[in-house]
Amino acid sequence: MAAHDIEVILSRQLADCLSLPIFIVGPKGTLLFYNEPAEQILGKRFEHTGVLEVDEWSKLFRPQDDKGNTIPPENLPLVNALNKRKPAAGSFWINSLDGKSHKITVTAYPIIGRARKFSGALAIFWKEEGEV
Amino acid sequence: MKVRLHGTRGSYPTSNRENEYFGGATSCVELINGTERIILDAGTGIIALGSEEYYKNKEFNILLTHLHMDHIQGLGFFGHLFNPNNKINIYGPSTTYESLYSRLNRYLSPPLFPIPFRDVPGNIEIKEVLNTELIIGSFKITSNFIVHPGPTVGYRVENQGKVLTYIPDHEPIMGSMEMFDDDDWLSGFDLAKDADLLLHDAQYTSKEYSSKVGWGHSSMEHAAEFAHRTGAKHLLMTHHDPLHTDEIKKRDFGEFMDNHDYDFEIGLAVQGSEIQL
């Protein structure tokens, strides 16, 4: 496998250093990495999840709105950032892989490097204040 | 392919007696296959290539890794630029907005340089590279962006079945001595994979590196681990710190080798030396 673009490698280096949960996908939406703080919310270590395609991870955490309606993948901020190549944000509920439910807020942006090469997208997310 | 090291010093040139073994000229490497030559970087080491006695060609290919001064300072003093019969192709990393010509012109113009770039008599063509493959004569060249402040590429040069990889400025992992386990997360991996010779940044000792995180350079430990991970057959550590005298370099390298056991050849790059691949 060819090495990732340098912008993606640097994103992971940054994610490794931050206490903020971060989720990184490649240009086709393949999950490449999430950091340790993200593992706390998603409920599973990245080593155990491994690389997932967009169709898998976008449903895996069963995203729902406040009324409990399933959010289709195309309405998720990270998928939006991938498809439209623009920053996107939103709040919704997820079910973590250890069985807990969390309301999270997500800000996602496309990773567009020099010469405007599109290399993937990155999502920063956090639990809503007061959410247990 | 012959590899001639014309400049192995990093940051700025030195010219004192205490540094003369490893040399004081900044980054420049010449690759030779018969009458074909390419030049990697234009630090002060390139000045030695500027005479017509040394270099009889009329076409020159200079591949810049990046535009820090220790990689371009010699360009304005490279004699062949001033011969209107010469064609000089200068390759270097692209960026999002400002052209390579414009960025080079910041140095090659008053007040930093007496002659505006546009008035240099040689026929100069500027060519921007990204993650690019290009062919120059019998040299097959791949450039990839690598981790270093500002747009910076490394080069992999293949010729007659041999591979030279040139990554003189590189901080493969910031603030850590541990690289990610997966090779595809390793900056520069594709460039250096199974190289016959890897010329790689090793400006610092690991102790020095700890106070220079984010400056874009490697410790000797980083360089050796990177070479090990990529399967390089021979590592030459380069971009020597200008504050490191020959005595300090030999001492630090000796201590490094006493404490590490790698199954490939490791040495320090010496200005004026030549390696046959």
Contact B184 A3 (CB under 8 A): yes
The range of the structural domain enclosing residue A38 comes to 6-127
**What CATH code is carried by the domain that includes residue B108?**
3.60.15.10
Give how many domains chain A has, as a whole number. Answer: 1
Name chain A contacts of B188, Cβ cutoff 8 Å: 3
Chain B residues with beta carbon closer than 8 angstroms to that of A33: 185
Question: What is the per-residue pLDDT across A70-79, written as a single tens digit (0 to 9) for each?
Answer: 999 999 999 9
| Among A2, A33, A114, beta carbon nearest to B130 | A114
| Number of domain units in chain B | 1
pLDDT at B54: 86
Domain assignment present for A132:
no
Give the CATH number, domain containing residue A72.
3.30.450.20
Q: Quick check: A89 and A80 in contact, CB under 8 A? A: no
What SS3 class is residue A3? coil
Best mutation target among A9, A16, A32 (most B Cβ atoms within 10 Å) is A9
pLDDT at residue number B271: 98
Residue A43 belongs to some domain of the structure: yes
**Each residue's pLDDT tens digit, B48-91:** 999 888 888 899 999 999 999 999 999 999 999 999 999 999 99
Residue A101 lies inside a defined structural domain of this protein: yes
Q: Label residue A131 by pLDDT band (50, 70, 90).
A: low
Residues from chain A that touch B131, judged by Cβ atoms under 8 A, are: 5, 117
Query: Is B146 within 8 Å of A6 when comparing Cβ atoms?
Result: yes
- DSSP string of A42-72? HTS-HHHH--B-HHHHHHHT--B-TTSPBPP
Does residue A1 lie in a domain region? no
Judged by a CB distance cut-off of 8 A, whether residue B197 touches chain A is no
Answer yes or no: do B93 and A114 touch at CB < 8 A: yes
* Parts of chain B with a pLDDT under 70: none
| Structure confidence at residue B88 (pLDDT) | 97
User: Would an 8 Å CB–CB cutoff place B51 in contact with chain A?
Assistant: no
Tell the residue number behind the tokens 């004192």, with chain if given.
Answer: B16
| Confidence at residue A1, expressed as pLDDT on a 0 to 100 scale | 54
> pLDDT band at residue A130, thresholds of 50, 70 and 90?
low
Query: Measured at the alpha carbon of residue B125, what is the angle toward residues B187 and B25, in degrees to the nearest 5?
Result: 60
Inter-chain CB proximity B185 and A12 less than 8 Å = yes
pLDDT at res. B53: 84
What number is the average pLDDT over the span A7-28? 94
Q: What is the DSSP string of chain B?
A: -EEEEEE-B-SS----GGGTTT-S-BSEEEEEETTEEEEE--SGGGGGG-STTT---SEEEEE-S--SHHHHTTGGG-GGGG-TT-EEEEEEE--SSS-HHHHHHHHSSTTTSSS-GGG-SSEEEEEEESSEEEEETTEEEEEEE-SSSSS-EEEEEEETTEEEEEE-S--SSTT-SPPPSSGGGSTTHHHHTT-SEEEEE--B-HHHHTT-TTSS--BHHHHHHHHHHHT-SEEEEESB-TT--HHHHHHHHHHHHHH---SSEEEE--TT-EEE-
SS3 A122: strand
The pLDDT, as a whole number, for residue A17 is: 85
Domain range spanning residue B245? 2-276
